[in-house]
Each structure stands twice: as C-alpha cells, then as structure tokens.
Amino acid sequence: MIQTRRPPEVDRAAASRRAVAARRERAALKKDVAMRVLSPQELLRRAGEHPDTPAGAMRVTEYLTALPAIGEGKRDRILAELGIAPVKRLGGLGPRQRVALSRWLDERFPEPSPRAGRSRLVVLAGPTAVGKGTVAAHVKEHHPEILLSVSATTRVPRPGEVNGEHYFFVDDAEFDRLIASGELLEWATVHNAHRYGTPKAPIEKALAEGRTVLLEIDLQGARQVRAAAPDAALVFLLPPSWDELVHRLVGRGTEGEEERARRLRTAKTELASQGEFDYLVVNDDVARAAAEVAALAR
Ligand code: 5GP
C-alpha cells in the first residue's frame, strides 16, 4: 500500500493560523488604503521591497478595488490598459508593470510634494485623536528654538493647564474683541463647542527674528492659514493605521453606537483632506514623528 505523507497535524494547524493572520493583515492594509491612512504608492513600494510579506502577496485585483472609487469594471479596464494579468500579485509585478502602475497612481492619487520657497511658519493638523497635541508638546520640549504658538480659547482650563502656557483662557466677550480687532491669524469653533484662535503678534515677532513657528490647530484653522499665508508649510499627521485611529477615537467604547459612527465618519472626512497639505507625517512613534516635524521646520 502506498502511503501518502501528510504533514503532521501541528504543522497544518500552524500553517492555517499563518494563513489566517496573513489574510487579516492584507485586509487591514486594504482598509488603510481605502481610508487614506496609507497611500497606494507606499503600499506598492512595500510590496516591491518585501514580496514575501502580506503586502507582496496581495493580488493586483484586490489592491485596485481597495482604492477609493474603483469598482470591478474599472479595475479590469485599468489592468488591461497597464498590461497586467489579474492573477498577478503586487510583489510579483515586473519592473515595467510596476512603473506603469505607479505612473497611473501618481496621476490619479497625487502624493504631496514639498514646495519651494515656503516660510518658517509650520502648521500641524490632522484627524481628531491622531495625537497632534502630544507631537507638538514633544517638539516644544526638545526644540526650544521653535516657537509653539499659544492659542486663545473660550473653553475652561483642564486640571494642570496654565494660562498663557497651554492656552490663553478668555471669555466670549474677549474672544469677540480679538476677532474684531484683527488680532487673530485664524480662528474656528472646534467640535461645535468652543472657539480657538491663533494670536498674530507673537508669530509675526518670532518670524521677524528668524525663528520657526509651529501651530497645532484644527483643519478649518489650517485652511485659513493657507489662505492668509500661502507660503506656510502645512503638515498632516497620519495615524499608523486605520485600526489604530479607530482605537484612539472610540477607545473602550463607552459611547453609544450613534456617537461611535459619527466619530468614524468625521475621521474619514478629515483624512480625505490630506491632499491639501504639503507634507504627511505618520505618528507611529511620538519622538520620531516630532523629530520629522522639527526637521521640516528647520
Ligand atoms: P483641546 O480643547 O483638546 O485642547 O483642543 C481641541 C482642538 O482644538 C484640537 O484639535 C486643536 O488642534 C484645536 N485647536 C487648538 N488651538 C487652536 C487654534 O488656535 N485654532 C484652531 N483652529 N484650532 C485650534
């Protein structure tokens, strides 16, 4: 009798666990691309550099349909146009196919590119809960040469917050006066609750002295700075992954289903604005992200 050799039970169990883990990782990568936490170009680069990872093992078909606004019909036309067989995996593309695909991506999903002649005014923005405040605080602590702008706000101080250091805590009448007298570079109502604004004078003084100024403000504020000071450098802070942002946003899940859904919708809209920015920085590690922001600022 011929005996077929089967792998021992434990090996098969381990292989199946690995397959499940790889599939889960591919699903997470596709979600990151769909939510714009990861650029399609970056995923393609990772796949090329490491073909034996889940990025490399992803089929071009599943990769393309993960991109915003690409359905199956469009996907098949694109593959035919680029001369790529649907069975191909990202890590197995030939050099010419890789170039053709990245050209197509650059046209369709342009990555931010540093602009020449920008000023020393740096704006740090990003989706809610991405950790802008922590990164900005790290820059302040380790780069005293950079001025971290202190905003005015109508919200009340939290325990430990010092007036003039964390914020200028003002009442509504004073905030109205700041707006009317043109003393704010930008201002916005954040989270439908309180008003926040950037005092102009300290920034102008620091810039005149040749210092770099960092503003940590919300997206509405960043847009106003772009309009008022077009040569400012706009930095968008990204979470390391969509799952991580969800985790930071809804945490232990103490809020109701409706509030949870609202926060996720907001995050998705906020992430979609990254194309308006000059630089993307991933907050995978606070010290590393802060060092990157400080280097841009110099
Ligand atoms: P928090 O109340 O937690 O300190 O800040 C809430 C939000 O207000 C943060 O997203 C922060 O970026 C934003 N923020 C703080 N200062 C300003 C500011 O001067 N202008 C604008 N537009 N947003 C600000």
Residue 44 neighbours by CB under 8 Å, 6+ apart: 63, 90, 98, 101, 102, 105
217 C-beta closer than 6 A to ligand 1? yes
CB atoms within 10 A of CB 119: 13
190 C-beta closer than 6 A to ligand 1? yes
Q: Could you read off the pLDDT of 66-80 as tens digits, one per residue? A: 998 999 999 999 999
125 C-beta closer than 6 A to ligand 1? no
Instruction: Label residue 9 by pLDDT band (50, 70, 90).
Output: confident
Mutate to test the pocket of ligand 1, among 185, 186, 217, 234 (most ligand atoms within 8 A of CB): 217
Atom of ligand 1 nearest to the CA of 221: 22
Q: Could you read off the pLDDT of 230-274 as tens digits, one per residue? A: 999 999 999 999 999 999 998 877 788 898 899 899 999 999 999
pTM over 0.85: yes
Query: Starting at the edge strand that comes first in sequence, how are the strands of the sheet with 212-216 ordered?
Result: 146-148, 212-216, 121-125, 233-238, 279-282
pLDDT of residue 1: 57
Local structure of residue 115 (DSSP, 8 states): P
Q: Could you read off the pLDDT of 85-109 as tens digits, one per residue? A: 999 999 999 999 999 999 999 999 9
270 C-beta closer than 6 A to ligand 1? no
Inform me whether the pLDDT recorded for 120 exceeds 80: yes
Atom of ligand 1 nearest to the CA of 149: 19
* Average pLDDT rounded to a whole number, residues 211-233: 96
* Average pLDDT rounded to a whole number, residues 8-29: 91
188 C-beta closer than 6 A to ligand 1? yes
pLDDT of residue 2: 61
